[in-house]
Amino acid sequence: MAQQLFFIITVWKRGMKNINLPISIDEAQKIILESVKPLTDEGISIMESANRVLYEDIVASTMIPPRDNSAMDGYAVIAADTKGATETSPVKLQVIAEIRAGGLLDGKEVLKGTAIRIMTGAPLPKSADSVIPFEDAEEEAGYIRIFNETVKYSNCRFAGEDIKKGDKVLEKGDRLRSADVGILASLNYQTIKVYKQPTVSIISTGDELAEIGEEVQMGQIRNSNAYSLYSEVKKYSGLPDYLGIVKDTLKDTREMFLKAMKSDVIISTGGVSMGKYDFVKEIYSDLNIETKFEWIKVKPGRPCTFGVKENKLFFGLPGNPVSTLTSFLQFVRPALLRLMGAKRIRKPVLNAILEEDLKKQPGKAFLLRGHFSIRNNEFYVSTTGNQNSSVLRSMSRANCLIVIPENTSEVKAGEKVAIQLIDHDEI
């Protein structure tokens, strides 16, 4: 009875929502994405644009390539002129001119029975409809001998075959890859409009933490979460600011969170489970941050708090180093990408053959650290060792997370399991 009363009071205090009940990964992601308001835009040089998200559609104002040109170093010919060419009875054509890449046509034209020496990328002269590579012809005293027939359009590249004028080549919401940057350059863009990068404050909580360079006192461990998170934030194009370690007191935690409020996203690690000195949740209600959820039906990462205040997103990630990273991947990563306007935010998931038996309790999903490999065109996966949430080594060896659903209790070697590819681009 007393327990029920406590529960009702807690729910009431936290805005009539049952945030104490664990929710699924999918539900949590939905709540987070509903809370994200994408940032505004800025203009940047295309040189800085890799991994940024376009704020505008890119519509081609010219054709690429702009004119028909040669795909090989060789001879521009009229294909019909090579008819009947064989090893024993080669066709002979007179070489009447040469065109270099970047050179001008200057009215040069291939006439019947002639050829023009041409370099890769040089404009195709009028009436030529095929290019014979140097290695397939023999030149001597102003003539070439050709030993094989060629067909029309061999080794020719045509105007607009890559991009036509008016094509929408890239879209608002695309996260730019290197080939995209190349297309922008081909279309003469020096600068483009992209979404701003989210600023991200990172806070480590815990009296037990020693900073890099400090002596580790009795009972202390080295702070690793701030650094693994810092690199994850950078990987997903956020602007991280590591604010340091905060001691487990309400006063210090409040001061640190007030300092962090300058950012779009505030990530803390530790202090979100049931410990006597876990203050993060208390600080949320203290600072009027609306808590949306506190527990997820997943291991690692069961305690995980998410809150919102004035478009700022607050993630209270669990302290265990692996739980921090898996929770980042499932929850913070999609939020950062959506803040930056990205359309694609899902990591690829595929099926792989499990190489060992796995058992778990039902009731929560498991995200096991795995390593996948490909043999005989099949994906295989095995775990990377000790799956304790504090064991970072097995995360460091992992290239995927094996997803065992909530209600499954056992999977046998040889069965297929879903694997989430953690190092691959979003789809």
Ligand X SMILES: Nc1nc2c(c(=O)[nH]1)N[C@H]1C(S)=C(S)[C@@H](COP(=O)(O)OP(=O)(O)OC[C@H]3O[C@@H](n4cnc5c(N)ncnc54)[C@H](O)[C@@H]3O)O[C@H]1N2
With binding defined as CB under 6 A, does residue 320 bind ligand X? yes
User: Between 304 and 343, how does the x/- string for binding to ligand MOO read (CB under 6 A)?
Assistant: --------------x-x--x--------------------
The neighbour count for residue 363, using CB atoms within 10 Å, is: 11
Q: Which residues contact 396 (CB under 8 A, 6 or more apart)?
A: none
Piece of the chain touching ligand MOO by CB under 6 A; list 53-61, 199-207, 294-302, 355-363: 294-302
Pick 14 or 299: Cβ nearer ligand MOO: 299
With binding defined as CB under 6 A, does residue 302 bind ligand MOO? yes
Smallest distance, Å, CB 166 to ligand MOO? 52
**Binder among 29, 154, 155, 225 for ligand X (CB under 6 A):** 225
Cis geometry, peptide bond prior to residue 240 (ω within 30 degrees of 0): no
- 272's contact among ligand MOO, ligand X, none, with CB below 5 to 8 A by partner kind, is ligand X
With binding defined as CB under 6 A, does residue 223 bind ligand X? yes
**DSSP 3-state assignment of 321?**
helix
**DSSP 3-state assignment of 257?**
helix
**Binder among 301, 321, 334, 370 for ligand MOO (CB under 6 A):** 301
Residue 193 CA to residue 309 CA, distance in Å, equals 28
With binding defined as CB under 6 A, does residue 291 bind ligand X? no
Residue 290 CA to residue 34 CA, distance in Å, equals 14
- For 198, half-sphere exposure in the C-beta direction (CA atoms, 13 angstrom radius) is 33
The neighbour count for residue 34, using CB atoms within 10 Å, is: 9
Chain center to CA of 306: 23
- 275's contact among ligand X, ligand MOO, none, with CB below 5 to 8 A by partner kind, is ligand X
With binding defined as CB under 6 A, does residue 204 bind ligand MOO? no
Which residue from 266, 268, 243, 264 is spatially nearest to 198, judged by alpha carbons?
A: 264
- Residues in region 34-73 near ligand X by CB under 6 A: none
Q: Which residue is nearest to ligand X (CB)?
A: 319
Residue 316 CA to residue 203 CA, distance in Å, equals 9
With binding defined as CB under 6 A, does residue 299 bind ligand MOO? yes
With binding defined as CB under 6 A, does residue 273 bind ligand X? yes
Q: Exposed (0-12), middle (13-18) or buried (19+): which is 4, by Cβ within 10 Å?
A: exposed
**Binder among 69, 389, 394, 420 for ligand MOO (CB under 6 A):** 389
Pairing verdict, β 410-411 and 358-359: antiparallel
With binding defined as CB under 6 A, does residue 321 bind ligand X? yes
- For 257, half-sphere exposure in the C-beta direction (CA atoms, 13 angstrom radius) is 28
- Residues at the site binding ligand X, with contacts judged by CB under 6 A: 204, 206, 208-209, 221, 223-226, 269-275, 278, 300, 302-303, 318-321, 323, 389-390
By CB under 6 A, name the binding residues for ligand MOO: 299-302, 318, 320, 323, 389
